[in-house]
Amino acid sequence: MQQFFENKKIKNITSIVADVRNEKRMRSIFEQFKPNYVFHASAYKHVPLMEENPYEAVFVNVLGTKIIADLSLEFKIEKFVMVSTDKAVNPTNIMGATKRIAEMYISTLHNLGTTKYITTRFGNVLGSNGSVIPLFKAQIENGGPLTVTHKDMTRYFMTISEACQLVLEAGTMGNGGEIYVFDMGQSMKIYDLALKMIHLSGLKFPDDIDIEITGLRPGEKIYEELLANGESTIPTYNEKIMIAQIRELDKKTIQAKIVELCVLNQELDCNKTVVKMKEIVP
């Protein structure tokens, strides 16, 4: 990675291999580099995989976030920007619930010190690791079929460059305590996307290549939402970025329950972990 930056003649970037769950290691990095801004994008994002591994989901998405957020407060970081997901809205799966819990923990730290905590919430990023387009491309190259879990499944999409620009801008405009929601445009049917990719590849459906409906995977929704029940938005100067108006949290109670979740998770009892998660996110 460092060689990549050097080959590109980018001299002001240092890459570090580390684990957000290792508080001692993270502390040493904060002490060494003394950052002004922290953009927290570390997470397990794959829904079916996390359904089978709630321990790891909580360990990384909740405890990892807590460690970085707490260090940001301690080291008086100017702004902490968390990258969340539309799957945190009315979550029906482990991954989404852990990201919502991480959002809630961030909210409890607002106004406890000088650090401004900001959350960004958006949908799928085209071409990112594990996204559907590279999967469809590989399936087309292998002769198919393209696999779609449900014919009516829809998702929001944006490009990597657009997502990065909006996260940076939200981090700049944020005064602390906001959850920014990005305008993702119209949601797209995954089935229609598969048809378009077949057409763009110069093939015909179903003569040259077929589409197989495989059924919803554990924890999957047919459609995603950007706002939870009872939430609304207020505009900003950028029409692509809105602020979600969320319900007030009992910060001390929520914070205590999230700490309990992180401790309970160490018992490696998935049932207890999931029960505690449902207590935090009904």
Question: Catalytic residue positions?
Answer: 87
CA distances from 112 to 78, 87, 223 (A): 13, 27, 36
* CA-based nearest residue to 184, from 131, 242, 235: 242
Give the angle 235-100-188 at the CA atoms, nearest 5°. Answer: 60
| Pairing label, strands 79-83, 116-121 | parallel
Greatest pairwise CA separation for the chain in angstroms: 63
Contact 104, 166 (CB under 8 A): no
* CA-based nearest residue to 20, from 58, 47, 77, 52: 58
List 182's β-bridge partners, or say none: 241
Output the CA torsion sign for 249, 252, 254, 255. positive
Rounded Cα distance, 77 and 71, in Å: 8
Please give the DSSP secondary-structure letter assigned to residue 85: -
Q: Crossing angle for the helix pair 270-280 and 94-109, nearest 10 degrees?
A: 50
